Amino acid sequence: MHIKIKAADSAPLEHAAALRKQEKFVLRLYITGMTPKSARAITNVKNLCTQHLKGRYKLKVIDICQQPVLARGEQIIATPTLIKELPLPLRKLVGDMSDTAQFLIGIDLQTENTCVRSNEDTI
C-alpha cells in the first residue's frame, strides 16, 4: 500500500499573515489632564504606533477631565488607559506605555513567546 503525503499548502498561512500586516488599529488613549504621566503616555503611544504600526492606526486621545461621560461609558477606573478597539478582540492597557514588550503583547502584535525569543536573541 502506497500513501502519498502531500506537502502542506502554505498559501493560506501566508495570506493570513499578509492580512494581519494590513490590519488597521483603532486606539483610544484616556488621560487625566496634561500631567507628566499623561504626557509620557501620549508620547510613548505615538512613538510605538509610528514604529510598529507605520500608518495603520488611528489614535484618539481623550481627556476625561473634559469628557467624563466617555470615561464612564468605557468603565475607565485608572489613567492613562489605552483601549484597542480594532482589530478585535478589544484590549485595555493601563499605564504610561513605557514597556514596549507589554505594549506589543497588549495590542496583539506579539505573543509572550515571541517577546521571550527576541529577548534571548539579543543576549
- The 10s digit of each residue's pLDDT in 33-70 is 999 999 999 999 999 999 999 999 999 999 999 999 99
Which domain covers residue 63, as residue numbers?
A: 27-122
Q: Determine, yes or no, domain membership for 1.
A: no
Q: Determine, yes or no, domain membership for 14.
A: no
C-beta separation of 72 from 62 below 8 A: no
Q: Determine, yes or no, domain membership for 20.
A: no
CATH number at residue 90: 3.40.30.10
Q: Determine, yes or no, domain membership for 8.
A: no
Strands in 91-94's sheet, in edge-to-edge order, are: 57-63, 25-31, 81-86, 91-94
Number of folded domains that form the chain: 1
Q: Determine, yes or no, domain membership for 68.
A: yes
pTM of the model: 0.76
- For the cut 70, the answer to whether the pLDDT of residue 77 exceeds it is yes
Q: Determine, yes or no, domain membership for 21.
A: no
- For the cut 60, the answer to whether the pLDDT of residue 115 exceeds it is no
CA-to-CA distance for 69 and 112, rounded, in angstroms?
34
Q: Determine, yes or no, domain membership for 73.
A: yes
Q: Determine, yes or no, domain membership for 40.
A: yes
29 pLDDT band, cuts 50/70/90, is very high
- For the cut 50, the answer to whether the pLDDT of residue 119 exceeds it is no
- For the cut 90, the answer to whether the pLDDT of residue 123 exceeds it is no
Report helix, strand or coil for 108: coil
